[in-house]
Each structure stands twice: as C-alpha cells, then as structure tokens.
Amino acid sequence: MSSWKSPANNSRIIPDPDQNGSTIRKAFILEAIANLFTIPLITNTRFVLSLLLLHPSDINPASVLFARLFGGIIVGGLTSALLVGATNTRNGIESRRPTYLLLGIGEVLLVPILAIEAAKGGRDAALSTKVALAAMGVLVPPLAWRCYVLFVRPNLLGRYKDVGEADAAAGADVGGSRTKCE
C-alpha cells in the first residue's frame, strides 16, 4: 500500500547545529528587505521610471504596466521565496538551493541584457550607460555569492535530521536532550 504525503504534514526535523544555515538565513532576510525597495516601482511607477530611463518622455501605459509587473514579481514572488528559505523548517531548508538557483538564473539572464544596453551608449537605448552599469553592479555581487554558496560552499545552505514520527510522538531523546523543532 502506498501512502501519499502532503508537505503540510512533514515529520519534525532537527536542524544540524553545525550546519544550521544561519549565514544563509541572514543573507535571505537581508535580500528580502532589499527587495522591498522595489515597492516604489509599483506605487510610483512613472516617477521611478523617469529616474531610470534615458528618455522619460517615452514612458507610456505599456512601460508602466511592465514595470509594475516586474516590481510585483520581485516583491510578491522573489521576496516570498526568500522569506520561506529564511525559516529553519524542512520546507525552508529544502527551498534554499532552488531559490538561489532561480535567482541566479534570473541574474545570469539580466546581466548580459543590461551589458548590451550599456554598450549602446545612448544610441537607441532605453537606459543611460550609468544606470545600466549601476544595475549590473547591483546584480553581479549577489550572483557571485550565489555561485559561491551553490558550487563551493553548499554546506552553508544548512541541513537537518528527520525526527521519525514514532520518535516525535514518544518525545524521543535526541542528542541527549528532548528537542522541540521550530
């Protein structure tokens, strides 16, 4: 007989005290807070675009809509994923690697687009060279950090040990003391 499992009914875990992911948890929170600075792109779109675009007179309803959609993805999607990954739960710990892969792939795609925009040097460009380079400067350090974590130091993502359902029900003595998980 096969049993179906819901992620909401995961057995309890104990985060590894030696690899509890505290560095990554802090990085996730810091990045989630930084993403909130995108809110003005949603709430004051025309003003923000006027600061970013080389020709603010080109702002039209379509550019406002797409800027708001972009801001919504950052605030609603990416920030939420970071906040989940900041928790020391099974789902949080297991989401850290896919979250960093998702964010890294986005940055890998955005950096060359911005480099092409910077190379235009004002000719038929939407962004000034300075804004394009500044945007790249904001994206490259987190991308380098993600590559470091994913490929050099994956232990920073944290790990956990399952507390079996029977152990959890019996209040098992784990590591010499009774442990409640977050």
List pLDDT tens digits, range 56-74: 999 999 999 999 999 999 9
Instruction: Answer yes or no: is 161 within a domain.
Output: no
Kindly tell me if the per-residue pLDDT of 89 is higher than 50: yes
Cα separations (Å) of 157 from 18, 42, 164?
11, 31, 22
What is residue 76's predicted lDDT score, i.e. its pLDDT? 95
Helices (H) and strands (E) in the chain, counts: 8, 4
Instruction: For residue 99, give its domain range.
Output: 20-156
Instruction: Answer yes or no: is 125 within a domain.
Output: yes
Instruction: Answer yes or no: is 47 within a domain.
Output: yes
Residues 6+ apart with CB under 8 A from 108: 143
Domain count, the chain: 1
List pLDDT tens digits, range 137-158: 999 999 999 999 999 999 999 9
Instruction: Answer yes or no: is 5 within a domain.
Output: no
Question: Which pLDDT band holds residue 163 (cuts at 50, 70, 90)?
Answer: confident
- Two structure tokens written together for 20: 């509890």
Instruction: Answer yes or no: is 31 within a domain.
Output: yes
- Separation of alpha carbons 97 and 32, rounded Å: 16
Mean pLDDT calculated for residue range 68-88: 95
Kindly tell me if the per-residue pLDDT of 168 is higher than 60: no
- Two structure tokens written together for 5: 């499992």
List pLDDT tens digits, range 118-133: 999 877 899 999 999 9
